[in-house]
Structure 1
Amino acid sequence: MRGIGWMGALALSVAGPAVAQGNAPPQAALDQLAAGLDYRFEVVDNRPVCPEGLANCFLATITLTLPEQLPPSLRKGADLSLYFSFVNPLDRIESDLFDYRNINGDVQQLTLKPGAVLRPGARHVIKLWGVGSHLSRAVVMPNAYLVAEGRQARVIAATRDTIDPDTGLPALRFVAPMTDAARLTSKSDSDKTVWLTPERAFVQNAERAAAPASGIVILPRPSHAAQHDGAVVDLTKGIRLTLTGVDRAAIAPALAALGTDETGALPLRVRVDPTSGIAPEGYRLDARADGIAITAADAAGASHGLRSLAQQAAFEQRKLRPITVEDAPLYPHRGLHLDLGRNFHGRDQILKLVEAMAAYKLNKLHLHLAEDEGWRIEIPALPELAQIGSVRCHDPAEKTCLLPQLGAGPDGKSGVNGYLTTADYVEIVRAAAARGIEVIPSIDMPGHSRAAIVAMERRHDRLAAAGKRAEADAYRLIDPADTTKYRSIQHYTDNTLNVCIPATYRFVDTVVDALAAMHGAAGAPLKTFHLGADETAGAWVNSPACKAMIAENGSDARNLTPRFIERVATTLAAKGIRAGGWSDGMGHTDPARMPANVLTNIWGVLHTGAIREAHDQLNRGWDVVLSIPDLGYFDMPYAPHPDEGGYYWASRGVDSHQVFGFMPDNLPANAALIPNISAQPQSIEDKPIREPGRRITGIQAQLWSETVRTDAQVDYMLFPRLLALAERGWTAARWTPAYRPGQSYAWHDPRVDRAALSAEWRDFAGRVSAQFAPLERMGVAYRVAPPGARIIGGTLEANSDLPGVIIEYRERGGKWTRYGGPVTVRGPVELRTRSADARRSSRIVAVSAP
């Protein structure tokens, strides 16, 4: 075997006739092969008979069909490898031509076996025996590529991400459709999940049917609101603004959202009075023909009042019925987490989301700025973090970039690369603060830290080469003598900071101080720093630097992560900054060693660890935010279907209805509405119980970005279900039974008022339909759900998940026709829904007569 760096390759000999492009230079020859090689991925079976020695397997295939003509330089032989990303562990590859190895993480390599011959036009099927299941086309990664010695790596053209012009979303055209429900839906008969077919969606939509919005459309729903008889409140001729107790700058974005000329005659009085008796972020709104008055205790409340007025005014074409509103939020933390680490999403997208958050009264933006796969924030003192850690490309030694994880491709030019400059970040923090939104930066550690580790190794190499040994070691995040072998949940072997060396804590301080300086420049002091608090099982066992620390902690290396979290949290507290982290890592700490002011995000799954973690950490007196995946992980698919995007390890479907029905104040009661991961009803016990007086701080949506490569996908995965989370963070779920310690709940428990839920859902769904146009004006490409449909007796019936949605259908070979009601059809029918502005459509679904 001849090596290409440490990633290696094998000689490829190609047998076949001479070709017209025979004199193509070596790079052109590789380019031609990458352009002409057909590459098809197929999930074959999630319930196969596993080969001997394997368990819990699934079978997928890669089919390669070589072009009929191949350049002579390849025909004569060349060092060639094929790289692709695959997120599941691969236990076995079956191929008569190829050898396989995992490089690191999800980067996989295929090389020809010694003496293997590829022939023009030949078709080769490679069997991939993976661990677990493969339930969605969306988790297949694009941009498989070819590497040959002395040439630039090239993406196999057939595997490129393309954008569907109708949906605006990536279309993985090289991935075969998944249609065999019997073999592909689940792993076993105990899993009761079924795909949400158009026929099933029709029944579901009918059960949840709602009318278009009318009356008060404010979202989230106010605590108290009423419309009155009388002359209209006419905003069409402008307003005359009077401010008391608040500067215009503090409410400027909300005024801009109102979109009304400020040289008009209608009085609009905004008063901020901390002694008004109104709750923080609350407001009173009184809009009558002779003027509008908004009173609040703070600028955030005044802005919320203006946002509510703007929503109602837009719905009523700026001529409102008189209205009064008294309103305040249910929870002080109503958050959105956005993962920039896995795949980058830049300043403009974040600024758009900040405005959308403000429109729907969300107030915490949790920016996940670093991961194994990318570092996304400029730290001036450590330039390699952004220069090296923000780019993924084919550089086996990782001298200039990280490995091309998650289908990033080899050239480093993909949109998934990038970072926020200090100026970008300051602009985001400033824009958020102007809208009453706190930015919470997150740098995951000590696990999930590979990007930082690699970048700091390149810093070390640069300074060591210059003879600056002490400076080189100052921010090195590993113990070079550590021989520990471990593998993270994402299959990395080298992604964990060494918590036993001073350089790690120097690094944390430098990063936190840089972020604090950016927040200071934005005029919004850094209040909370989220350190993730993830660990990698098995790390540091054989690290000489950790020998003493392990001995001091019961001779168990697993105890080092809690000590790290406690130390960092204490250091942050000394800087006046609250520490935040994910509940699994935070739960292992000793509360006595932690500051009193701590934020913890509960991410245990509802039917497994959620209640245990939430109640335990509530009882510690910490600020508990529910980030539960069944309700709050918006990288999960909207519905159980292989064409819906997202990971599915926690839930096969998280739709707006499920998010809307969530009962944050009584976690066990959610068993009445939400089945487990296998679509089975499962009771939930209240263990441990929540101590009297303990209450959650809030709820938060999470969008992890492994499968989210474009900004349009961000919008699709967040909206409209983020509106449901905004409602639950602001307004009480009236169907929730009062929490009583020790009470357990089962499926359809009568203590949960499902009739109240249905009524409230119908009202909410109508109000969502009123938000389509405002979202489009903000540039948000919200999800357009495919319609439900069925054919009975030759008659097509169709419906939508939300009211006011346009449905179109076509018979085979026909043109798209707007659906207006049941219609006679003669054969199979395709259907789609359209966005309010008709610029985008849902994915196409098909129905046939039974």
Structure 2
Amino acid sequence: MKKVSGLFPSILCVVSLTACGPVADGQSSTPEAADTAAVEGSGQLSQSDIDRLAETLKVTYQVIANKAAECQAGGRSIGATSCYEAKITLHSDEPVTASGWEIYFSQPDPLAFVAPGALSIDHINGDLHVIRPGEEFETVTAQAPVSADLVVRGQVLSEAKLMPNWYVVADGLEARTIDSTRMQTDPETGLLVRPWIVDFPREESHYRKGPGDDTPLATSAFLHDANSIAAPVDNSSVAAAIIPSPASVQRRDGALDLAAGLTVSMDGVDRAAIDAALQRLALFGVAEAAGGVPVSVSVEPDLMGGTESYVLDIGPGAVAITAADDAGAAYALYSLASLVTLGETTVPQLRIEDSPRFGFRGMHIDLARNFHSLDMVLKVMDQMAAYKLNKLHLHLADDEGWRLEIPGLPELTDVGARRCHDPAEDDCLLMQLGSGPTGETEVDGYFSVADYSAILAAAKARHIEVIPSLDMPGHSRAAIKSMEARYRRFMEAGQPEQAREYLLTDFDDTTEYESIQFYTDNTLNVCMESTYHFIDTVITEIATIHEAAGVPLKRYHIGADETAGAWVESPVCQAVFEDPDNGIDDAGDLGGYFIERVANMVAAMDVIPGGWNDGMGHTDPDRMPETVQTNAWGVLPWGGATSAQQQANYGWEVILSIPDALYFDFPYEADPKEGGYYWAGRRVNTRKVFDFMPENLPVHAEFWKDPNEQPFTIDDTLQTDDNGVVTHAPLEEGVRFAGMQGQVWSETLPSDEMVLYMIFPRLLALAERAWHQAEWEVPYDYQGTVYSPQTSHFTSDMRAARDADWARFAAVLAEKELPKLDKAGIPYRIPTVGARLTEGRLLTNTIFPGLPVEMRSAAGEWQAVDGPVDVTGLGDGAIEVRARSADGSRAGRALTVGE
């Protein structure tokens, strides 16, 4: 389809053969569109036909092979750097002979080629595609299926990238989801199953990108080797362990029994500030009670360590807490809760002096791509507080959805919070990411003012700052289409001035562009004053909600994503280019202009502006506010250290958000059955998060590999180009990053349970690194040096200390913290099991030693494994292994030994 910004609704009418709503002022329909609809809209099918088709049609999607380069389609190169071959097949127990139907489906990578045949397929916008009967179509039966052979731009290395809820529709009829493409839930593991996907063979063409990709498949043998731990763990160290680790711990002999409960007294502490921590203790069996162990809590603002610091002193008969502020007091109680082992009432006697490594310790949740519930967000905040994370970055608007009620702009949620089959997008957005045609699923929706206020109240009680983000100027399709729907409503009412008040679209813009997610119309026009009126209104309303909740808005994240190639042919922007006072020569300058203008608008509200570092990098630092937050998400082998260090040297607050270790939607291990996208990391397990050294980015070149499992080098010395312009510089002496943040993006996560599964237990390792600086970390060299697998700044002694520290951390998770996640109802990922067969014995291990492990042979009954197992009498059948949750209630994904 031709990519024409501003004309998409009328184009979509052609491809859908569905009646469209009114055409916006400045847009044009075409005679060809009307003729196509009139000629091809056959009306052969009834609603009952569509309903029955949705029930009986069987769809299968098979990935044939991934290719890294030189992709061919129809005997010619498609010009893509990578592609994959696939086959879509339709079959049915009831013959399908009628034409006039269309099947819509989401495929994140766009179509490059379809072999001519019984089915035709077209890309519409974003990930939306449509299948129609082709020239050779006659019938579909169980004995005579029809199929289409595809070549697709991009690669698919995980089933999670293939989206559910394909739907069938015909002209004038209601769309229906095809039952065979619905997600199912495995009753034992709780994991989502995609029954329409043909299982990927466990061969290189299905888990590697091609030559040069050495990613190892996470077989049971690979995991067994990776899980092997050299250093034994002292049980007493586990009992006294706290996650995140305190700065200083002094052990004493003896323990304190908390069986009688706690009697809490406070001096200078707000009861509301510690109530959530006391609730956590009560959940673990240590509640407040008359006659309980005395716990004194007092505040000393001058306490060494500063903000959020505390001293926790557990003696033979009492607990004393001294804190710098309310947050420190709560963290001391959370540390007491961390010492508790479920089912036991004693804690070791000790003295802790503690303060945080970073003031910014964050977690980011994407609610825009797929919406998730208020309850899920509250659950995450409970755990954030328990592990001393203090910033919640909520991604509330993107191309696929607007998720926050804004008083006065109802279209943002009436239209922008739902995806359904409405080609005109008057009532909802186009279906994306397998959301289906109804607009009434769990991935549709938004937070009302009351919901958002509840989040703010819960965050305040847990010492968490909420940072709202509504991505602009790119990634803004939900806002754009919502405001176009508003425009049409007011134009129909004869109110053109109100119609244009918040318009984000220049209807005369003929620029052709394509975003990274393959949208042709997702970038708001940064040259229109109505755009800035819209942004000012939105941020002002959010600030008002915060103020009413008693939680002033402190930070606002612009997003700052943009789409290359936008605005070139916009008449409004042409006028901006021609005005010499603007200092803008062409469209390439507009991204920086927009970010600078909005950042200063936000700062004028006494709010700190933030954005992703690539967009922020287009600005002139001299034209930015004094205080700026920038989230560094560059991949380390691809220059991520350069951009992060450059912006830290500007004096900006750099929040490390690097995908290499901090994107929690990436797979835990490299396996087609693992969830998530994987463009910068194929295996980001809890160990990799733990190993991250946030204050020395270049050093990771010594022990990590790039996304293709290849070694890399980072030259952290001062470098210039031929013109003397600095292209890379070390951090300036004394400059530090401001914090770090985990990210979960929700494109592949259609349920609350899957979001929690991807966040946990990685969040605990994030908390460990954000709060505590380990002794084994390599100090940053401000003079600059080179790091590679051949250098040894990370010495063998340091590596041994890290491995021992990891062994301790993993044991604490298995024995103390995972049971607490079970208790709190968090469906964390249960690790796949490492296993080897050696001389007739089955050897097993897990990344978290101590979790229950099971095995079975030839699909027999699962049985517990405790140490090596003699399997010589089990015959030749395949042996499977799996782990269970710490409380035994859930099973993890099984692996076949020897595969």
The two structures have a TM-score, normalised by structure 1, of 0.95
Q: Deviations over 1:123-149 (max 9, x none)?
A: 122112112321111110001111112
CA distance in 2, matches of 1:787, 1:107: 37
| 3-state secondary structure, aligned to 2:420 | coil
CA distance in 2, matches of 1:799, 1:362: 31
2:891 is matched with which residue? 841
Structure 1 451/518 Cα, relative in aligned 2: closer, same or farther at 3 Å? same
728-737 vs 658-667, which moves further:
728-737
Q: Deviations over 1:330-368 (max 9, x none)?
A: 000110000000000121110111101001000000000
CA distance in 1, matches of 2:93, 2:706: 50
What does 1:608-619 align with in structure 2 at a 5 Å threshold?
608-619=638-649
2:8 is matched with which residue? none
CA distance in 1, matches of 2:737, 2:293: 42
Deviation at 1:739, TM superposition (A): 1.3
- Say how many residue pairs are matched: 835
Question: Does residue 142 of the first structure (1) align with residue 164 of the second (2)?
Answer: yes
1:757 is matched with which residue? 802
Deviation at 1:532, TM superposition (A): 0.3
| 3-state secondary structure, aligned to 2:594 | helix
| 3-state secondary structure, aligned to 1:228 | strand
549-558 vs 263-272, which moves further:
549-558
| 3-state secondary structure, aligned to 1:258 | helix
Structure 1 480/294 Cα, relative in aligned 2: closer, same or farther at 3 Å? same
570-579 vs 235-244, which moves further:
235-244
CA distance in 2, matches of 1:404, 1:778: 34
| 3-state secondary structure, aligned to 2:352 | strand
Question: Does residue 110 of the first structure (1) align with residue 127 of the second (2)?
Answer: no
CA distance in 2, matches of 1:150, 1:208: 67
CA distance in 1, matches of 2:119, 2:59: 15
1:803 is matched with which residue? 849
1:716 is matched with which residue? 757
Structure 1 stretches lacking a partner, 5+ long: 15-23
Does the aligned pair in 2 maintain the 1:13–1:116 contact within 8 Å? no
Q: Deviations over 1:133-189 (max 9, x none)?
A: 211111100011111122211111111011111111211111111124132222332
Instruction: Tell me which of 747, 768, 774 is aligned to 1:727.
Output: 768
Does the aligned pair in 2 maintain the 1:12–1:112 contact within 8 Å? no
| 3-state secondary structure, aligned to 2:784 | coil
Question: Does residue 200 of the first structure (1) align with residue 222 of the second (2)?
Answer: yes
Does the aligned pair in 2 maintain the 1:239–1:263 contact within 8 Å? yes
CA distance in 2, matches of 1:711, 1:840: 17
| 3-state secondary structure, aligned to 2:77 | coil
Instruction: Tell me which of 697, 703, 728 is aligned to 2:744.
Output: 703
| 3-state secondary structure, aligned to 1:100 | strand
Deviation at 1:207, TM superposition (A): 4.1
CA distance in 1, matches of 2:657, 2:493: 47
What does 1:212-611 align with in structure 2 at a 5 Å threshold?
214-230=238-254, 232-259=255-282, 260-314=287-341, 317-551=344-578, 552-611=582-641
Question: Does residue 153 of the first structure (1) align with residue 153 of the second (2)?
Answer: no
Instruction: Tell me which of 778, 785, 808 is aligned to 1:737.
Output: 778
Structure 1 359/309 Cα, relative in aligned 2: closer, same or farther at 3 Å? same
748-757 vs 52-61, which moves further:
52-61
| 3-state secondary structure, aligned to 1:405 | coil
1:18 is matched with which residue? none
Deviation at 1:11, TM superposition (A): 6.1
What does 1:633-648 align with in structure 2 at a 5 Å threshold?
633-648=663-678
CA distance in 2, matches of 1:97, 1:790: 48
Does the aligned pair in 1 maintain the 2:390–2:464 contact within 8 Å? yes
1:747 is matched with which residue? 789
- For 2:680, give the aligned amino acid: A
Q: Deviations over 1:635-683 (max 9, x none)?
A: 1111111111010111111111111111111111011121011101111
Does the aligned pair in 2 maintain the 1:50–1:56 contact within 8 Å? no
Instruction: Tell me which of 811, 819, 824 is aligned to 1:766.
Output: 811
CA distance in 1, matches of 2:202, 2:772: 42
Q: Deviations over 1:722-763 (max 9, x none)?
A: 111110001113222221132121126422121111111111
What does 1:171-190 align with in structure 2 at a 5 Å threshold?
171-190=193-212
CA distance in 2, matches of 1:611, 1:180: 35
Deviation at 1:208, TM superposition (A): 6.6
759-768 vs 723-732, which moves further:
759-768
CA distance in 2, matches of 1:25, 1:92: 29
Does the aligned pair in 1 maintain the 2:82–2:154 contact within 8 Å? yes
Deviation at 1:118, TM superposition (A): 1.8
How much identity, in percent, do the aligned residues show? 44
Instruction: Tell me which of 14, 17, 30 is aligned to 1:3.
Output: 17
Does the aligned pair in 1 maintain the 2:476–2:522 contact within 8 Å? yes
| 3-state secondary structure, aligned to 1:301 | helix
Question: Does residue 679 of the first structure (1) align with residue 709 of the second (2)?
Answer: yes
Structure 1 96/68 Cα, relative in aligned 2: closer, same or farther at 3 Å? same
CA distance in 1, matches of 2:753, 2:202: 29
143-152 vs 50-59, which moves further:
50-59
Does the aligned pair in 1 maintain the 2:362–2:390 contact within 8 Å? yes
Deviation at 1:592, TM superposition (A): 0.9
Does the aligned pair in 2 maintain the 1:228–1:321 contact within 8 Å? yes
The two structures have a TM-score, normalised by structure 2, of 0.90
CA distance in 2, matches of 1:480, 1:495: 13
Structure 2 stretches lacking a partner, 5+ long: 1-13, 21-32, 717-727
Does the aligned pair in 1 maintain the 2:119–2:146 contact within 8 Å? no
Question: Does residue 59 of the first structure (1) align with residue 81 of the second (2)?
Answer: no
CA distance in 1, matches of 2:835, 2:164: 32
117-126 vs 435-444, which moves further:
117-126
- For 1:45, give the aligned amino acid: A
Does the aligned pair in 1 maintain the 2:884–2:891 contact within 8 Å? yes
